[in-house]
Structure 1
Amino acid sequence: MAHPGTAAGIHAHTSADDDVSKRLLDSAATLSYDPATEIDWDAPLPEDGYGLNPEWSTLYGTRLWDEMTERQRVTLTRHEVCSIMTTGIWFEMILQQMVLRDQYLKNPASAEFRFALTEIADECRHSIMFARACEKMGVPQYRPAAVIAQAGRLFKATAKGELAYGGILVAEEVLDVMQRDWMRGENVLDIVRRTSRIHVVEESRHMKFARQEIRERLRGTGRARRRAAGTGIAVAAYVIVSSMVHRGVYRAAGLDTERALAEVRANQHRKAMMRTSSSHLMAFLGEAGLLNSSAAAVYRRVDML
């Protein structure tokens, strides 16, 4: 029987697919966190605590960074991390709707169905956690541009199969590498270290699930479908990555916005960090046949390749 939501006869959902979901459910049962109790939301924030490791700031390594005061650097990194968090909330809202739509009318007794809903529950907690962290830091919501927000509406309403799970994987993989550094950053705010640790642990299961779903949906498919999906995932990656740090963060730090943006675009250190954070993702996409020349060109535009 063909997998629901895919072309009939392309592939079957196997017991090996369910085994992955069962292992992820076991992991979720033994290693999950409640941010409401795991984080001390009432603890005061030290004035010198960074929002993220300075090396992950978009301006680190530039002439402008060298000219900035320590207060400006702290402010910038706090606004940068909250911009990334609110972008994460935006995409988690998209993710939840795509996963719910994918699981519509599937067997509720299956491990795949149960883990999909477990993932949605995790994402709800993560969004609340990020929102509280930004409120604690006193940083306002940074929303994506109107055209990007509308594109997100279209994507969540139409993306399915490997395209939907590929978009999910892109957002999770890039943030995962960043947060693994933030959770160990000695000069990073404790609230950021703790939210990062929770997100890293729980998102590792989500990434495994997304990879398995992608493999399953592509089983037995041809080159044309893989090429179309690969290009679509790359476009989604472009939108997500280019929306992560809002231009308003530079104004909040008292910087000239246009100069800051120009230095960010020319910042070789930032480009190298982005390529590092995307290396595992690119390797997986290559193995899955989703890294064609068109997709690669898009990834290079946002320094993921």
Structure 2
Amino acid sequence: MQREATAARLLKISAANSYDPGVDIDWDAPLDGERMYAPEHRLSLYGTPLWDSLTPGQRVELSKHEVASIASIGIWFEMLLMRMLLRHITDQDPRSGHVRYALTEIGDECRHSIMFGRMIEAFGAPAYRPHAVDRALGKYLGATAGGVQIFAAALIAEEILDALQREAMADDSLQPLVRMVSRIHVVEEARHIRFARDELARQVARAGKPMLWYSQVMVGRAAYTVTRSLIHPDAYRSAGLDPQAARAAAWRNPRFRETLRWAGDRVTTYLDELGLVRGPARALWRAAALIPD
């Protein structure tokens, strides 16, 4: 069975190539006050008049809080994914490779959430929580999501973050801590993405039209939540900016919207091929800046 073959391959990769962030990262290494935390051209305000008004030190501070915000939302999504994966496998055969790999992935996500939390702490930054409406929707999704919604939502969050981190880990001008955290996450998320893509294709093939229509709406809302939650308004406040004015400038910024489309291109294309970026839900994808206006 293809599902079991995929699980066996991913379990072998997991056994050979996994990290322990508590050991593999030097958490005591000092941060460099002059290094950026993310490539400046990926920051939400880059290219705006507000960006031009910032000093080099303010730009570094903004980059720190944007990365802390993205890591915070990453933790929230990983916790949501863990709940959904546990629901997905609860009634399945625990002897199967599929269940073993899902539990292995949950273990990976536990370490990732701890790693992101320690990184935020090392920055001296706060943890940025999603809006109350998004937290409520997350609870609903965690309690009700079926296979299509579980794996499509997982891919949206995983692949957008993966694109940003692949670029960051290769940029030797950035903070070494950010680069190492990005490298660990990219290596381990690669197998999570493979698992989710394969399982999503199976779930879509089995779903009827009513479920696909419902999934289009829920997946579109998940895409909207991901991109709109990446940079919390309080991250701008922490960097010394007016949060409402800075957020408005970011969402008007064509460079930031292009960054979101770039980061989401692979997953948006894949979900569109599966028929999940269709109908009225496309308005949510446009509002998420993942497809052109």
- Corresponding position: 1:201 with 2:201: no
Secondary structure of the residue that 2:67 maps to in structure 1?
helix
- Corresponding position: 1:254 with 2:240: yes
Cα distance change of structure 1 residues 108 and 250 upon mapping to structure 2, 3 Å threshold? same
Deviates more, 1:148-157 or 1:188-197: 148-157
CA distance in 1 between counterparts of 2:249 and 2:207 reads 43
Which residue matches 2:87?
101
8 A contact 2:277–2:285 mirrored in 1: no
CA distance in 2 between counterparts of 1:152 and 1:105 reads 22
Per-residue deviation, 1:68 = 0.1
1:175-215 residue CA offsets vs partner (Å, 9 max, x unmatched): 11011111112221111100001101111111111111111
CA distance in 1 between counterparts of 2:134 and 2:271 reads 24
- Corresponding position: 1:46 with 2:32: yes
CA distance in 1 between counterparts of 2:160 and 2:82 reads 18
Secondary structure of the residue that 1:232 maps to in structure 2?
helix
Amino-acid identity (%): 42
CA distance in 2 between counterparts of 1:217 and 1:256 reads 44
Which residue matches 1:158?
144
CA distance in 2 between counterparts of 1:201 and 1:272 reads 25
Structure 2 residue identity aligned to 1:261: R
CA distance in 1 between counterparts of 2:231 and 2:105 reads 25
CA distance in 2 between counterparts of 1:87 and 1:248 reads 13
CA distance in 2 between counterparts of 1:162 and 1:272 reads 27
Per-residue deviation, 1:40 = 0.6
The counterpart of 1:87, out of the listed 73, 78, 93, is 73
Following superposition of structure 1 onto structure 2, how do residues 93-172 of structure 1 map, counting pairs within 5 Å?
93-172=79-158
Which residue matches 1:11?
none
1:209-232 residue CA offsets vs partner (Å, 9 max, x unmatched): 111111111224344432321221
Per-residue deviation, 1:294 = 2.0
8 A contact 2:4–2:96 mirrored in 1: yes
CA distance in 2 between counterparts of 1:49 and 1:160 reads 43
Per-residue deviation, 1:88 = 0.7
Per-residue deviation, 1:76 = 0.6
1:39-80 residue CA offsets vs partner (Å, 9 max, x unmatched): 110111111121211111110111111110111111111010
8 A contact 2:261–2:289 mirrored in 1: yes
Unaligned 5+ segments in structure 1 are 1-14
Cα distance change of structure 1 residues 107 and 220 upon mapping to structure 2, 3 Å threshold? closer
- Corresponding position: 1:68 with 2:17: no
1:257-298 residue CA offsets vs partner (Å, 9 max, x unmatched): 232122112100011111111111111112212121323221
1:111-134 residue CA offsets vs partner (Å, 9 max, x unmatched): 100000000000000000000001
CA distance in 2 between counterparts of 1:174 and 1:246 reads 16
CA distance in 2 between counterparts of 1:277 and 1:161 reads 24
1:118-167 residue CA offsets vs partner (Å, 9 max, x unmatched): 00000000000000001001001111122221221111111121111111
Structure with the bigger percentage of helix: 2
CA distance in 1 between counterparts of 2:262 and 2:200 reads 23
Q: TM-score, normalised by structure 2?
A: 0.96
CA distance in 1 between counterparts of 2:91 and 2:252 reads 49
Structure 1 residue identity aligned to 2:224: Y
Which residue matches 2:42?
56
Unaligned 5+ segments in structure 2 are none
Q: Work out the number of aligned pairs and report it.
A: 291
CA distance in 1 between counterparts of 2:119 and 2:16 reads 25
Which residue matches 1:8?
none
CA distance in 1 between counterparts of 2:133 and 2:289 reads 22
Which residue matches 1:289?
275
- Corresponding position: 1:183 with 2:172: no
